[in-house]
Structure 1
Amino acid sequence: MKILVQISRIIVGALFIFSGFVKLVDPIGSQYKFQEYFSESVLNMEFLVPYALPFAVLLIIAEILLGVMILIGYKPKFTVWSLLILTVIFLFLTWYSAFYNKVTDCGCFGDAIKLTPWETFYKNVILIVLIMLLVIKVELIKPIFKGKIPKLITFLSLAAFLYIVQHVLTHLPIIDFRAYAVGKNLQEGMEYPEDGSIPPVHDFVLENSQQDLAPILLEKEKVMLIIVYNLQKADKNGFPAMKQIAEKATKNGYTVYGVSASFTDDLLAVTKEYNLPFEFLFCDETTLKTMIRANPGVMILNKGTVTQKKNWVDVDELELK
């Protein structure tokens, strides 16, 4: 029994750390997922939508920190019961998603691994069984270090996780698992897999009043896309920086366009207000949120390959050759 408890402890801890880490490096992705859960069509708890980001951050840090705590054996009773409560919440959400076909991707492993709601539900059922074993035999969970070392590791881990969250929210995800990551080619991403499933890059259109310019722009060597997925939610402090970087890029031979899902009249107004030297194209808001976790942000393309991405606070770091 002791060996079984230790194996369960390692599996549970490793799984929670992995699941928490892939979301820790991109908490905005989890924010979008919780906004989907809180929407009228799913849980109908729209009053929680404004709090989706802090809720996501809290849950992510709790998940990864509890994984660390169970591995090192810090406060085992508190840890195993917290793991159980957290997993029961996940179990309900994934069952609800699967049974009512509400959310096709639960986001439990961020964008790193895609699971169907039923696959995630059964994964959580197995987790519940392992955690229940830890609850029943909690006296067998001992700290792997003596003295105050487990406490020190826990608090240092918490500080590190909080720093990562702050860094990612200020800049961009440390690790990008999406189809629009630096180094990815968008044309290749648009190709349908052999199984006929939806390609990683879809709904990618860059429309002006007459046509979709995406096929043309994906063939060009120097393209800068200034992405403002939603003008009402954009950080207005970023527009002067967007103006400067667009002017610099144009001088260096880049084709520069803004891309947004906002209304044309609003885009014309902000263009006039900040004297922006580029035209806005239309693209689906969900696609833009997937392309870059910034509002506004900049993406550089070279014949369809993403070569650079920056939040507006870091546009001075762009290499425009």
Structure 2
Amino acid sequence: METNFNPTRKRKTNVANVLLTFSRLFVGVLFIFSGFIKANDPTGFGYKLQEYFHVFHLDSLNDYSTWIAILICGFEIMAGAFLLLGLYKKTVAWSLLLLIIFFTFLTFYSAFFEVVTSCGCFGDAIPLTPWQSFIKDLILFVFILIIFSNRNRITPLLRKGALRSIVATIIVLFAFGIGVYTYYFLPFIDFLPYKEGNNIPALMVLPEGKQGDVYEYIYEIKNKRTGEAKKVTDKEYMAGIWEDENWEVVGEPSSRLVQKGYQIPIPDLLISDADGNDVTQEIITNPYYNFIVVSTYADKLSTADIIALDRINTTIRDLSTDFNIRAVLLTASSAQVANSLNEEMDLMLEMFYADAVPLKSMVRSNPGVLLLQNGVVIKKWSKITFPSKEELEKQYLAK
């Protein structure tokens, strides 16, 4: 009796199934992880998208960057989950292929032309350089090609019916809902240097025993007698060339990074008053409870933001009658905008100014509030979660 059994074909089929299964697991888990990490901080991912918008002259999208970030994160989580469950296999396979082609182009463009220093693929949790991101996308591209080529082999874990529809709906709601939640209520996990429990002054200096970046300086020198010109390092120059009167330095020296050192977590915080005086240490080392209200762009506050700021201001004013507290408002807006806001809302907050970059890292809300004492971040709130006077008294001030 003849059979059609072909061991070679069976082995190839088994290998293809193993590759497909591994690819689905690898890509699915990675997409869910990547989407969740970015959805944990959609505002931060939105800031990263604004860098890409600037590169491609799409600055008109800046005002929508956070919501675009939420959509991208949600799609990643949804695509990863559907891939693992085998749902909508053809649509998911095509989506993954188009997505990875786009991201591979984007990361290569960023790396080759050095236009964006970090891709933001895994948010602030796992910073990647553009070249690292490009290599990551190339690896993903291979696995997604395996998925795409074998998309018809994918067997759904759930049959068509009510259960599949319910599971798919839950996945979609979770995927997009998590970004919306963290946008309004702050990230679940704070990966930034201003997170609760951190000592801000300590993170602004180089710790003892640590070495910062090491640079080599290149001098262009010219022999006044012979006209010979050459470039030498600072070590070569100081080894004796500087003593030779025949040689003179031409132009300004250039620098080159020789060794990457310890990176100070908060290198750029400078708080100044309206006259430009540096009051950074005065503000962040206050031994009493110190409310830092952050409104990065005071001129971009919506009506809802104004209402939230008014509630914050009123609560802090009521607290100041019974407790020794200081309350300041930090903004990157101009003094004219800040003064106009102060007059309009009768703010009891002292006005100070800082660059937008550190303010965006302080709290992912505009406005948002930090409670400091002796330079330590005690608590952070978004414009929605800032508590009442009674809650603040009970949890912090009355202790």
Shorter-normalised TM range:
over 0.9
C-alpha displacement of 1:123: 0.1
2:38 partner letter: K
- State the distance in 1 between where 2:205 and 2:172 align: 41
Give CA-to-partner distance per residue, 1:78-107, whole Å, 9 cap, x none: 111111111111111111111111110111
1:184-199 correspondence to structure 2 within 5 Å: 184-192=198-206, 194=211, 195-199=260-264
C-alpha displacement of 1:26: 1.4
Question: Which residue, out of 270, 279, 289, partners 1:213?
Answer: 279
- State the distance in 1 between where 2:166 and 2:265 align: 42
C-alpha displacement of 1:184: 1.9
Question: Which residue, out of 322, 346, 370, partners 1:275?
Answer: 346
Match in the other structure for 1:257: 328
Match in the other structure for 2:299: 232
Q: Radius of gyration: which is bigger?
A: 2
Q: Against the structure 1 CA distance between its residues 197 and 87, is the aligned structure 2 distance closer, same or farther, given a 3 Å change threshold?
A: farther
C-alpha displacement of 1:13: 0.4
C-alpha displacement of 1:35: 1.3
1:217 partner letter: I
The number of aligned residues is 319
- State the distance in 2 between where 1:232 and 1:103 align: 27
Match in the other structure for 2:129: 116
- State the distance in 2 between where 1:140 and 1:310 align: 49
When the two chains are superposed, the root-mean-square deviation of aligned CA atoms in Å is 1.8
2:317 partner letter: E
Give CA-to-partner distance per residue, 1:201-230, whole Å, 9 cap, x none: 121122112532222333223211011100
Greater shift in the superposed pair: 104-113 or 248-257: 248-257
Q: Percent same amino acid at aligned positions?
A: 32
- State the distance in 2 between where 1:6 and 1:151 align: 23
Greater shift in the superposed pair: 63-72 or 49-58: 49-58
Match in the other structure for 1:183: 197
Match status 1:5 vs 2:20: yes
C-alpha displacement of 1:118: 0.4
**TM-score with structure 2 length normalisation?**
0.76
- State the distance in 1 between where 2:336 and 2:25 align: 56
2:139 partner letter: I
C-alpha displacement of 1:171: 2.2
Match in the other structure for 2:214: none
Question: Which residue, out of 268, 285, 293, partners 1:203?
Answer: 268
Question: Which residue, out of 175, 183, 192, partners 1:161?
Answer: 175
C-alpha displacement of 1:239: 2.7
Give CA-to-partner distance per residue, 1:233-289, whole Å, 9 cap, x none: 122222311321321343321121110011112211211221111211111112111
C-alpha displacement of 1:297: 1.1
8 Å CA contact 1:73–1:150 kept in 2: the answer is no
Question: Which residue, out of 86, 104, 121, partners 1:73?
Answer: 86
**TM-score with structure 1 length normalisation?**
0.93
- State the distance in 1 between where 2:261 and 2:387 align: 41
Match status 1:171 vs 2:185: yes
* SS, match of residue 215 in structure 1: helix
1:310 partner letter: W
Match in the other structure for 1:247: 317
Give CA-to-partner distance per residue, 1:120-143, whole Å, 9 cap, x none: 000000000000011111223212
1:106 partner letter: C
Task: In structure 2, list runs of 5 or more residues that go unmatched.
Answer: 1-15, 212-259
C-alpha displacement of 1:311: 1.5
* SS, match of residue 314 in structure 1: coil
Give CA-to-partner distance per residue, 1:52-97, whole Å, 9 cap, x none: 2332222111111000011111011111111111111111111111
Match in the other structure for 1:307: 378
1:127-146 correspondence to structure 2 within 5 Å: 127-146=140-159
2:263 partner letter: I
C-alpha displacement of 1:150: 4.1
1:128 partner letter: F
Match in the other structure for 1:23: 38
- State the distance in 2 between where 1:314 and 1:119 align: 37
The structure that is helix-richer by fraction is: 1
Match in the other structure for 1:54: 67
- State the distance in 2 between where 1:109 and 1:189 align: 23
* SS, match of residue 301 in structure 1: strand
* SS, match of residue 316 in structure 1: coil
1:241 partner letter: R
8 Å CA contact 1:227–1:258 kept in 2: the answer is yes
2:52 partner letter: Y
- State the distance in 2 between where 1:36 and 1:189 align: 26
Greater shift in the superposed pair: 78-87 or 194-203: 194-203
- State the distance in 1 between where 2:62 and 2:20 align: 39
Q: Which has the higher contact order (CA 8 A, sep 6+)?
A: 1
C-alpha displacement of 1:147: 4.2
